[in-house]
Copies of this chain bind each other. A is one copy, B any other.
Amino acid sequence: MEFTVKQIAALLGGTVDGNDSLKINQLSKIEEGQEGSISFLANQKYEHFLYTTAASAVIVNKSFQPRQPVKATLIFVDNSYSAFTQLLEQVNGLRPVEKVGVEHPSYIAESTQVGDGIYRGAFSYIGEECRIGHNVKIYPQAYIGNKVTIGDHTVIHTGARILDNTVIGNHCVIKPNAVIGSEGFGFAPERDGTYRAIPQLGNVIIEDHVSIGANTTIDCATVGSTIIRQGVKLDNLIQVAHNVEIGKNTVMAAQSGIAGSAKLGENCVVGGQAGITGHIYLARGTKVGAQSGVMKKVKKEGISLSGSPAFDLQESLRSQVVYQRLPDVEKRIEELENKLKNQ
């Protein structure tokens, strides 16, 4: 890519302060700016970099007023963060067209139907009686089992494993080495101390516009379906157990997990390394802090939780503060006891 600052400002509907004929050939973070790069400033925390950055241009909010001289040319826009995202999308659109066609060797069962515009990478495997939509990309070494349905424009990355009977919607992304539809963890204890495997006959249903992170695992249901609703975004290394249901547009950060049969409402946000116990329900808009452990159902919408076990965020923050001075708390009690003894 190579654009002038003027061209970029026009694209973003922004106004320029400085030299608008400078040439831009890359995007950069503000602290890593170089001649020819354009960056952005949204988070106040990074403002001091603006006065030292070597970037040729920086996108800032209309409301922003520099408090020191700035060497870089500025582009003022309504929202610098989303303007930069727009620029990222523009540059992304310039990247070479993604792969189409079939690489060899790759495996596909005869009973499987495939749409137009597909990419099937080398060493990819597609089992019996699958229905694969149009413009689907199945990267090298990915695995699709039997009776799997995949919608249009969905991408199955290298090493992802889509087990039997899984249904995946349109415009989904399944990242490398994710495992979808593996057997749920169901074992019935026997009298002699051993465990008997409970057959897992259900499946996984993933609706449209869902993103599943690398090495994330989503188990199939015992009966019925584990369901990931439209627009859900899951980060890497997440565990979703059998018969879980995740509501529309819910977002979960890396290494979090949900135990069997729990249900999350729409637009929940789950922090990294958080856990949600089985058979509970979290209402729409529940927010779970990083490393928290939710042990009880949440009926009211929009609640923020923190702690392990998790409770109300604001109360949790107050308990955290006192926790850090517990030795002092105990000392104060001792002093009180001594005083009373001496009375």
At the interface, yes or no: A4 with Cβ under 8 Å from chain B?
no
**In the bound complex, do residue B233 and residue A185 qualify as a contact, i.e. CB atoms below 8 Å apart?**
yes
Query: B235 contacts A254, CB within 8 Å?
Result: no
Contact A272–B275 (Cβ < 8 Å): yes
Q: Are B27 and A179 in contact (CB under 8 A)?
A: no
Max chain B Cβ within 10 angstroms of own Cβ: one of A236, A251, A291, A309? A236
Residues of B within 8 A of A233 (CB): 185, 187, 195
**A122–B127 alpha-carbon span in the complex (Å):** 10
**Do B122 and A188 have beta carbons less than 8 Å apart?**
no
Q: Is the CB of A243 within 8 A of B29?
A: yes
How many residues on chain A are close to B (CB under 8 Å)?
Answer: 109
Q: Could you tell me the distance in whole angstroms from the C-beta of A32 to the nearest C-beta in chain B? A: 5
Residues of B within 8 A of A61 (CB): none
**B contact residues around A275 at 8 Å (CB):** 255, 272-273, 290-291
A92 to B220 alpha-carbon distance, docked (Å): 14
A266 and B194 alpha carbons, distance in the complex (Å): 10
- A255 touching B257 in the complex, CB below 8 Å, given contacts A214-B179, A223-B29, A293-B290: yes
Asked if A286 is an interface residue, CB under 8 A from chain B, the answer is no
Does A105 interact with chain B (Cβ within 8 Å)? Answer: yes
- Judge if A36 is at the interface, Cβ distance under 8 Å: no
- Of the stretches A17-25, A68-76, A334-342, the one at the interface is A334-342
Cα–Cα distance between A32 and B26 once the two chains are bound (Å): 53
Q: Mark A151-171, 1 if CB is under 8 A from B, else 0.
A: 000000111010100000000
Question: What is the 8 Å Cβ interface bit string for chain A, positions 310-323, against chain B (1 contact, 0 not)?
Answer: 01000100111111
Per-residue B-contact encoding for A72-113, CB less than 8 Å = 1, 0 else: 000000000110010011011000000000010101000000
> Which of the residues B158, B315, B330 comes within 8 Å of A329, measured between beta carbons?
B330
Point out residues on A near B: beta carbons under 8 Å. Answer: 26-29, 32, 43, 45, 81-82, 85, 88-89, 91-92, 103, 105, 107, 121-123, 125, 139-141, 143, 145, 157-159, 161, 163, 173, 175-177, 179, 182-183, 185, 187-188, 193-199, 201, 209, 211, 213-215, 217, 219, 222-224, 231, 233, 235-237, 239, 241, 243, 248-249, 251, 253-255, 257, 259, 266-267, 272-273, 275, 277, 279, 290-291, 293, 307-309, 311, 315, 318-327, 329-330, 332-333, 336-337, 339-340, 343
Q: Give me the 10 closest cross-chain CB pairs, A-B, nearest first.
A: A92-B199, A322-B326, A179-B214, A239-B254, A161-B176, A217-B236, A107-B122, A318-B327, A88-B199, A125-B140
